[in-house]
Amino acid sequence: MWPFAPPTHTHVARRKQAARDEALRAVRRRPFPPDAYPAEVYLRATAREIVERIYKRDWTASDVLEAYIARATLAQDITNCLTEVMFCEARAQAKALDAEFASTGRLRGPLHGVPVSFKDVFDVQGHDTTMGFSSRAHQPRFEDAKVVALVREAGGIPIAKTNVAQLVFFFECVNPVWGRSLNPYTRAYTCGGTSGGEAALLAMDGVPLGWGTDIGGSLRIPASFCGIYSLKPGYGRISLTGSPGTFDGLEAIRTVAGPMGRSVDDVELGARLVFGKQGTEYDPAPLPYRDPDMPNRLRFGFYISDNYVKPSPASQRAVLEAVDALRRAGHECIEFTVPQAHRAMEIFIGLTAADGYKTLTADLGSDPVEPGVSSLLLGPWLYGWVRNSVAWVMSKFFKDEKLAGTMRAASHKTVHEFHKLVQERDSYGRMFYREVWDKHGFDGIVAPVLALPALPHGSNQYLSALACATLLYNVVDSPVGVLPVTRVRATSDAATTEWTDPRVGPGHGSPVLEGLLYGKPDERGVGRGGFYDAEKMAGLPVGVQVVGRRWEEEKVIEMMKVVDRALGPRGFGPLAWSEQRK
C-alpha cells in the first residue's frame, strides 16, 4: 500500500470490526449483576412490560440493560448482526435514568429504560453510519437522527446499530465492511434484508424494540425470515431526517422508516412515539397517532399467489392458516386476484434503475460487489441491444413474459421517459385502489411476504425478482404490517407437482423463477434441486403481510392484533428463539 493512500475496504473492515469486537470483549469480562433477576425474566418482557416493571420499582433500567447487552452479545456471536456497539454510553444513560426516577418518581417517557437498536442507516451521535460502505467509515455523525432523538427523549436506550445489505437494496444481509449476517434459526440461511441485522437481533431477544427502513420489502422480508413483527408505514408518517439512504433524491419510490419488535404491542408503541413528530423539520406530515374505530367484524381480502411467481407450500399455508383463524373468529375473508402484479414490478425496476443505478452506487468506491448486487445492477449496465436480446430469449424460448418484461424495464431513462413512468405509477395505483379496495370494500388484505421462507446464502443473485411480492406495496404506497404465523414443516410443506409443473394447479407465474425455486420432481413427485427444500428449511419462520389503505397505518396495527389473537399462541414472541432450541 502506497504512503498516504486511502485504506482499502479490507483495512477499513478490519479496523471497524476490531473496534466492535473490543467493545464486545469488554462486556464478556463483566459478570451479570448477582442481585438481579435471572436474565430470562427481563428478556421475556415486552417493551411496555419493561416500562411498567420499572415504574413499579420491581426493576431498574440498569439491570434490564445488562440482560439485553448479554443477549445482544450472544446474538452477535451466532448471527454477526451488530455494527456499531454503544454499550458504554447505554450504561451511562441507564444509570442516569435510574437516578432521575429515584429522585423524581416520574418516568422519562413511554420507553423509559427500554434497550433499542437501529439499522445502520440511522445517524447516532458519535458513531459512523457506514451503511456497509468502506467509504463512509471513520466519519462519526454530529447529531442523532430524528427517530433516534425521539427514542432518547422517551427514555429509550440505544445500545447498537445493526447490519445491512450492500447498497441497502437486496434481501441478503452482507457487505464488505461487516460481512454476512445469518438467520438465528438456521445459519445456512439469510436473515433477510435490508434490515436483516435488526431482525436477527430482535429474534434473539437482543433488544425489545428496533428500527429499520423499507423501499421494496426491507422491513417485511427480514421480519418474516426471522419470525418477528414489523410495520412499513406509507410515506410521510415518520421523519427520515438523519437517516441517509442510497436512493436519496429519488421521489418516485420513497424509502420509509418503521418499527420492528417481538409483538404487535411493541410495534404500536414505536409507532405512537414517532408518528407525525416534526420538530423543526418539514417532514413528516403533521399527523399524530390516531386510534381507529374498528368494526366487530372485519372484511379481509386474501390471495396465495400474485401470479408473478407461485409461492411455496409453506408461504401459501401461512396465508391460509391466518384466513382460517380469522374466519373462526367471525371475520369475512374473500379471495381475490391481484391486478397486474408484473406491471408493478416493471414500474419499480424502471424507476429505481432510471439513472443506471448511479445514485445507488455513488458510495461504492473500490468495494467489491456482492454477486447478489451484481445481478441487480446488470440490466442498465448492458447495452440496450444486449438487454433486449436477453429479454427476447426469455420470452421466445423460455416462455417467460414476466422476467422478460422485468429485464426490459431495467434500463436508463431520459427525463421524459422517467416522467412517463411516474405517470404509469400513479395510474397503476389508482387502478389498484379501484379494482381492489373500492370494488371489494376490504378493510385489509392478507398476503404472502415472499415466495420462500428464508433463502440460502448466495441465492439472491438468482432470485431478486421474488421481491415483487413486497415491492408492489411500495409502488402503491400502502401501509403493511408483518407478523409470524407458522414454521416450515419438512414433509407436508414439500413441493409437489403442483409447484414443479406449471401445467398443474393455479397461481403460476415466471417459469424460470419457479424452476429455480422448485426444481424437478423425483420419483415421489417431490421437487428436488431447487432453492426451496422443506426438509432443510424445517423450523424456519413464515409470516404474512397485513395490508391497509393509504394513511391507515393505525388500522393496520389493529388488524395485526386481530390476526395475532385469532391465531393464538404458536411459539413466537419474546424468548421464542430460546424455546425453539430446547
> Is the distance from CB of 432 to CB of 476 less than 8 angstroms?
yes
Q: Are both 219 and 151 inside the same structural domain?
A: yes
The answer to whether the CB of 518 falls within 8 A of the CB of 505 is no
User: Quick check: is 24 in a domain?
Assistant: no
Same domain, yes or no: 230 and 326: no
Q: Do residues 354 and 150 make contact, with C-beta atoms less than 8 angstroms apart?
A: no
**121 is written with which cell numbers?**
442507516
Instruction: Identify whether residues 198 and 315 lie together within a single domain.
Output: no
Of the three residues 240, 274, 308, the one that is the final residue of a domain is: 274
User: In the prediction, which pLDDT does 3 show?
Assistant: 52
Q: How confident is the model at residue 28 (pLDDT cuts 50, 70, 90)?
A: confident
* Residue 424 shares a structural domain with residue 477: yes
- Considering the domain architecture, whether residues 222 and 320 belong to the same structural domain is answered as no
pLDDT band at 21 (very low <50, low <70, confident <90, very high): very high
Task: Examine the pLDDT at 4 and tell me if it is beyond 80.
Answer: no
Is the model's pLDDT at 385 over the cut of 80? Answer: yes
The sign of the torsion formed by the CA atoms of 242, 243, 244, 247 equals negative
- Tell me whether residue 12 is in a domain: no
Residue 104 lies in a domain: yes
| Strand extents, DSSP E, 221-342 | 229-232, 256-261, 299-302, 332-335
> Is the per-residue pLDDT at 71 higher than 80?
yes
* CA-based end-to-end distance of the chain: 50
Note whether 210 and 311 are same-domain residues. Answer: no
Position 554 in a domain:
yes
Q: Are residues 269 and 327 in the same domain?
A: no
Q: Per residue in 197-219, pLDDT tens?
A: 999 999 999 999 999 999 999 99
What pLDDT digit, counting tens, does each position of 213-257 carry?
A: 999 999 999 999 999 999 999 999 999 999 988 988 999 999 999
Whole-number mean pLDDT of the chain?
A: 95
Tell me what the mean pLDDT of segment 84-111 comes to: 98
Q: Which range is least confidently modeled, 16-20, 33-37, 329-333, 503-507? A: 33-37
Count of Cβ atoms closer than 10 Å to residue 521 Cβ? 17
Q: Give the predicted TM-score (pTM) of the model.
A: 0.96
CB count, 10 Å around CB of 469?
27
Is residue 241 domain-shared with residue 322, that is, in the same domain? no
Count of domains for the chain: 2
Question: What pLDDT is stored for residue 580 in this prediction?
Answer: 87
Please say if the pLDDT value at position 1 is more than 50.
no
**Residues 322 and 461 occupy one common structural domain:** yes
Residue range(s) defining the domain that contains residue 542: 300-334+415-567
Q: Are residues 233 and 313 in the same domain?
A: no
In a domain, 514, yes or no: yes
| Spatial distance between the Cα atoms of 387 and 503, rounded to a whole number of angstroms | 29
Backbone dihedral angles phi then psi of residue 306, each to the nearest 5 degrees: -90, 5
Same domain, 258 and 305: no
Q: Does a structural domain hold residue 499? A: yes
pLDDT tens-digit series, residues 265-318: 999 999 999 998 865 666 788 899 999 999 999 999 999 999 999 999 999 999
Query: What pLDDT shows up at residue 5?
Result: 53
Residue 542 forms part of a structural domain: yes
CATH number, domain with residue 170: 3.90.1300.10
pLDDT of 323? 99
| Percent share of the chain, pLDDT over 90 | 89
Quick one: 83 exposed, middle or buried, by C-beta within 10 A (0-12, 13-18, 19+)? Answer: buried
Considering the domain architecture, whether residues 234 and 190 belong to the same structural domain is answered as yes
Q: Tell me, yes or no, whether 395 lies in a domain.
A: no
> pLDDT at position 213, please?
98
Residue 36 has what pLDDT? Answer: 59
What is the rounded average pLDDT of the residues 429-456?
98
261, 115 Cβ separation under 8 angstroms: no
Tens-place pLDDT, residues 476-503: 999 999 999 999 999 999 999 999 999 9
